[in-house]
Amino acid sequence: MSINIYHTLAFLDMILYTLVWLVIRMNEEQRYKHELWIYVPLAISGGFMEIYAFLSRDGIFANAQTGNLAILFKSVCAGSVLGALYCFVPIILYMSAIYITMEVPARMKNAIKWSELCILIEMILIFIVGLIPETVPGRYAVLPIFFMTALQYNTFKSMRGQAVSTVFCTNNLRQVVIHFWRFKENKDTQHIKYMNVYVIVLLSFGFGVMLGFLSNDRLAEKAVWICEIFMLPVLHRLHVHGKLFVEV
């Protein structure tokens, strides 16, 4: 085992230890403990899919649309119809998924069941992505990831009443700084609790990235199936304790 792999595994172990320590230290209400069982695995899966798409699918970051929007407008200015179309398709997929997360629960007799259905859809799409050979261009192979990350983003969107993303990190980082500053100014420990929400999600996301990096060489395009391992306990938790997640 090379020194780089050894250091990576040690850092991975440190992240896991930190996550466990933070969770054990929390003496919180039942709902929040159940939220941890949902959001930690989802953030791990989100981080895994982010690095998976980058390493296995032609260097594409597929969890958000900022890059696609930038390239879309650049292509319009350059008069590149194909370039614009290449970006337009994943943007439409992403927007369609967001619309589904609003429309389907509104039409369901038991809207609480939508979160379970969302995870089932994600698990099916993850399986399909793993079946797509590496010979398929990455721009096509990641289309299901664009769709599923949008489903996850707009279905599981708050912990302890705080807006949280399990598929990208920018706002989570922003909120860590905001709540730290508010605690510094007001000495209100509630802001430390809110900050911990974002720290836990960020560490979970990072753990997923590292796990994805370590598994990529051995499993290649099928590495994404590891995400199924994290989705299964989420599905079980939602099925058993779904009423605790009315607001997700």
**What confidence tier does 1 reach under pLDDT thresholds 50, 70, 90?**
very low
pLDDT of 17: 57
pLDDT of 248: 43
49, pLDDT greater than 80:
yes
Going by C-alpha positions, the residue among 159, 186, 187 that lies closest to residue 175 is 159
Query: In this structure, which CATH number among 1.10.1760, 1.10.1060, 1.20.1250, 1.10.3470 belongs to the domain 3-63+94-245?
Result: 1.20.1250
**What confidence tier does 245 reach under pLDDT thresholds 50, 70, 90?**
low
For the chain, the DSSP string reads --HHHHHHHHHHHHHHHHHHHHHHH----HHHHHHHHHHHHHHHHHHHHHHHHHHHTTT---S-SHHHHHHHHHHHHHT-HHHHHHHHHHHHHHHHHHHHHHHHHHH-SSGGGHHHHHHHHHHHHHHHHHHS-TTS-HHHHTHHHHHHHHHHHHHS-EETTEE--SS--HHHHHHHHHHHHHHHHH--THHHHHHHHHHHHHHHHHHHHHHHHHHHHHHGGGGGGHHHHHHHHHHHHHHHHGGGGTT-
Give backbone dihedrals phi and psi of 162, rounded to 5 degrees, phi first.
Answer: -105, 135
* pLDDT tens figures, 186-203: 988 889 989 999 999 999
Give backbone dihedrals phi and psi of 49, rounded to 5 degrees, phi first.
Answer: -65, -35
pLDDT of 132: 96
Segment 128-155 shows an average pLDDT of: 95
Going by C-alpha positions, the residue among 105, 237, 103, 97 that lies closest to residue 167 is 97
pLDDT of 86: 87
Helix axes 170-186, 190-219, angle to 10 degrees: 150
SS3 assignment for 10-57: HHHHHHHHHHHHHHHHCCCCHHHHHHHHHHHHHHHHHHHHHHHHHHHC
Rounded distance, CA 53 to CA 208, Å? 13
Query: Taking all residues of the chain, what is their mean pLDDT, rounded to a whole number?
Result: 87
47, pLDDT greater than 60:
yes
Segment 19-33 shows an average pLDDT of: 60
- The ranges assigned to domains in the chain are 3-63+94-245
241, pLDDT greater than 90:
no
Of the candidate ranges 20-34, 53-67, 227-241, the one whose mean pLDDT is the lowest: 20-34
Rounded distance, CA 247 to CA 162, Å? 11
**What confidence tier does 3 reach under pLDDT thresholds 50, 70, 90?**
very low
Select the more confidently predicted residue: 131 or 245. 131
Segment 95-123 shows an average pLDDT of: 93
Show the tokens assigned to 86.
Answer: 């290449």
Segment 79-101 shows an average pLDDT of: 93
| Percent of the chain predicted with pLDDT > 90 | 62
138, pLDDT greater than 80:
yes
Look up the pTM and report it: 0.86
Rounded distance, CA 248 to CA 94, Å? 19
Place of tokens 């850092």: 11
